[in-house]
Amino acid sequence: MGAICQFCDLYALKKWLPTQLFDGHQFWPSQTVLVTDEAGTIVDLVHGADAGPGVQHLEGLLCPGFVNVHCHLELSHLKNAIAPGQGLPAFILGILAKRGAPEETMLAAMEAAVAAMQAAGIVAVGDIANLALSAQVKAHHPEMAWHHFIETSGWNPVLAAPRFAAAQAVEAQTLALMPGALSSLNPHAPYSVSPALWQMLQPHFPGKTITLHHQETAAENELFENGRGGLVEMYQKLGIDHGHFEPTGTRSAAAMAPLMQKAQHRIWVHNSFTTAQDLHDLAPTEQDFFCLCPTANQYIENTLPPVELFREQGVNLVLGTDSLASNHQLSIWAEIQTLRNAFPHLPLAETLQWATINGAKALQMDDQLGSFAKGKRPGLVCIHQDKVCRIL
């Protein structure tokens, strides 16, 4: 029997006293103790003077497990396959040319990527899937929370019906392996989904979190404004018929806002070229989440999203790693470092909130994850000298 009080012994409680404690929303005063059960369920936050015996000191910052809102696990085998800095159209051409690989290669890369995310303190992932293959890996890791974003694309309207059917099949195969899992059918991007495909997707939006790659390249706005630019050149290289498309004469945000309207939560991913006018046109509510993937933006377009604009407008921000095709690692803490290096005045507390409770809300997982609220089991992550360690 250890030197712990009767109460602790009875309920096998653990008491954590870190150097700094962030609960998903804010930092707590020093000497605050987090009390959990052995499995990591949050019991209480108390002052050290009231914590009784058995308090364990932790050197570093203690926070809830990180939520990676945007990842493509199925592209994990493409690490270092595509040279950085070429812009999005060239990046997409690279992905399409290289994404095929033996299943064993892809599965092994995905397994390694999941292990790396867990080592980086990530407890939940919004994972984009065009194939059912990644479901095999995700089903092996029920200790991670997954939101399966089944993704579809097809710029030629003739492809709408077969592409939609294929996405439904991927979702069915995914849910067969993980019954009851969170999943939705998602449009890939404004420049890759035809009106006919949007019409098939939209009846499935109510009640769901829907994600859309958005304004990742200036060429997307150019396409909608005047029907020209790098994406049109990309269609030509791919032999994709572009004849159906009529420019809206607006930027892409104005064109997308009505199409995404029926979703329960909307996750706008990247937003590197989003302006104040775009935010006005999107008219974001509490149901809108803007996902920043800064390291991928640097990798692909050598740019960063307008973080200060989003902060000024008070919109919900969340973080994603994107895939190993456009990132050297899958770490939300590394994304925070990228942002804080570029925007030195960015408060750490805000970025941690994006990485924890905001991400959990976006993925509809905040009943269990994202904060140290009583009864949740959000994972305990400790950061010391830039090293991330999962405690529970």
> C-beta of 378: minimal distance to Zn ion in Å?
25
Rank residues 288 and 322 by Cβ distance to Zn ion and give the closer one. 322
Rank residues 66 and 91 by Cβ distance to Zn ion and give the closer one. 91
> C-beta of 336: minimal distance to Zn ion in Å?
19
Write out the residues near Zn ion by the rule CB under 5 A. 322
Three-state SS string over the chain comes to CCCCCHHHHHHCCEEEEEEEEECCCCEECCCEEEEECCCCCEEEEEEHHHCCCCEEEEEEEEEECEEEEEECHHHHHHCCCCCCCCCHHHHHHHHHHHCCCCHHHHHHHHHHHHHHHHHCCEEEEEEEECCCHHHHHHHCCCCCEEEEEEEECECCHHHHHHHHHHHHHHHHHHHHHCCCCEEEEEECCCCCECHHHHHHHHHHCCCCEEEEEECCCHHHHHHHHHCCCHHHHHHHHHCCCCCCCCCCCCCHHHHHHHHHCCCCEEEEEECCCCCHHHHHHHCCCCCEEEEECHHHHHHHHCCCCCHHHHHHHCCEEEECCCCCCCCCCCCHHHHHHHHHHHCCCCCHHHHHHHHHHHHHHHCCCCCCCCCCCCCCCCCEEEEECCEEEECC
Rank residues 213 and 376 by Cβ distance to Zn ion and give the closer one. 213
> C-beta of 72: minimal distance to Zn ion in Å?
6
Rank residues 23 and 322 by Cβ distance to Zn ion and give the closer one. 322
Beta-carbon contacts of 141 under 8 Å, excluding residues fewer than 6 positions away, are: 114, 118
Rank residues 220 and 322 by Cβ distance to Zn ion and give the closer one. 322
Q: Rounded to an integer, what distance in angstroms lies between the CA atom of residue 14 and that of residue 89?
A: 51
Rank residues 322 and 366 by Cβ distance to Zn ion and give the closer one. 322
Chain-centroid distance, C-alpha 184: 14
Rank residues 36 and 209 by Cβ distance to Zn ion and give the closer one. 209
> C-beta of 128: minimal distance to Zn ion in Å?
6
> C-beta of 174: minimal distance to Zn ion in Å?
18
Rank residues 322 and 335 by Cβ distance to Zn ion and give the closer one. 322
> C-beta of 335: minimal distance to Zn ion in Å?
13
> C-beta of 110: minimal distance to Zn ion in Å?
16
> C-beta of 281: minimal distance to Zn ion in Å?
22
> C-beta of 149: minimal distance to Zn ion in Å?
10
Rank residues 214 and 361 by Cβ distance to Zn ion and give the closer one. 214
